[in-house]
Copies of this chain bind each other. A is one copy, B any other.
Amino acid sequence: MSASERRYAPPAVAVSAVAFALGAPEGAELGDADADAGEALEGTLWLPLVRRTREPFAGVWALPGGPIPWDETLAESAERTLRATVGRSPGYLEQLYAFGDVERSGRGQRLVTIAYWALYGENDLAAQAEFPAEVENIAWFSADRLPELAFDHADIVEYALWRMRMKTEYAAVAHRFLGGTFTLAQLRRVHEAILGTEVDPANFRRQALAQGHLVDTGEVETGTRHRPAKLYRFREN
């Protein structure tokens, strides 16, 4: 097909994935702004991006994604793409939205992308990495210091952040990030990262305990120089 034939062809379909973690994995390449800053932004969400090697948007960072093979469901394609980018499967994966604006892929073949959002918790990132092939052109960026993104991927990231913030089941999201037991300070930092703003520790402590979702495990944090803090877990169901 010539370029002008592609322009009037029916849309093709692909997946893209926005994967959030509370920090970049050990040893991961960091985006320039994050590497230059010389300090990890621990209170923010991080996500992996892939630098495009082909037109359109060659050299520009984009969300992990690609075409859907004939024998994969949409979610399987999204998960495989994330495994190839992060080296591990996410702890949580959910369909976000189908993006299909007419001009979103420039003047070439029109592309509808089914976007997914995913969470990588501490346990997910601690798993042994399995990179199937080369990992060049992959880096992690803090959500506060994203580079220019290809296509409408900046809109997709914005929408994924909004969806996560609107999630009523905060406890479930926090749970995915934290694993089994956690201190109230750790739980508060997850909320701050998701909301993108600071939360008053005393207010947070009072509200978190009042909601009845938390169970005191009777254990305390170890290996810290501070006064040991109580460890909590989420109540079943």
Contact = CB atoms under 8 A, between A and B. Distances in A.
A97 interface: yes
Interface in A1-32: 7-13
A208 to B, nearest CB: 23
A98 B101 contact: no
A68 interface: yes
A112 B114 contact: yes
Contacts of A13: 10-13, 100, 112
A7 B110 CA distance: 22
A70 B100 contact: no
Interface residues of A, number: 24
A113 to B, nearest CB: 10
B114 A98 contact: yes
Contact of A10 (B70, B97, B110, B114): B70
Most buried by B among A11, A71, A97: A11
Secondary structure call for the A interface: loop
A68 B12 contact: no
A197 interface: no
Contacts of A8: 70
Nearest to A97: B95
Given A112-B114, A114-B112, A70 B12 contact: no
A236 interface: no
Interface of A: 7-13, 67-74, 95, 97-98, 100-102, 110, 112, 114
Q: Please give me the 5 A-B residue pairs with the lowest Cβ-Cβ distance, nearest first.
A: A74-B100, A13-B13, A98-B114, A98-B98, A8-B70
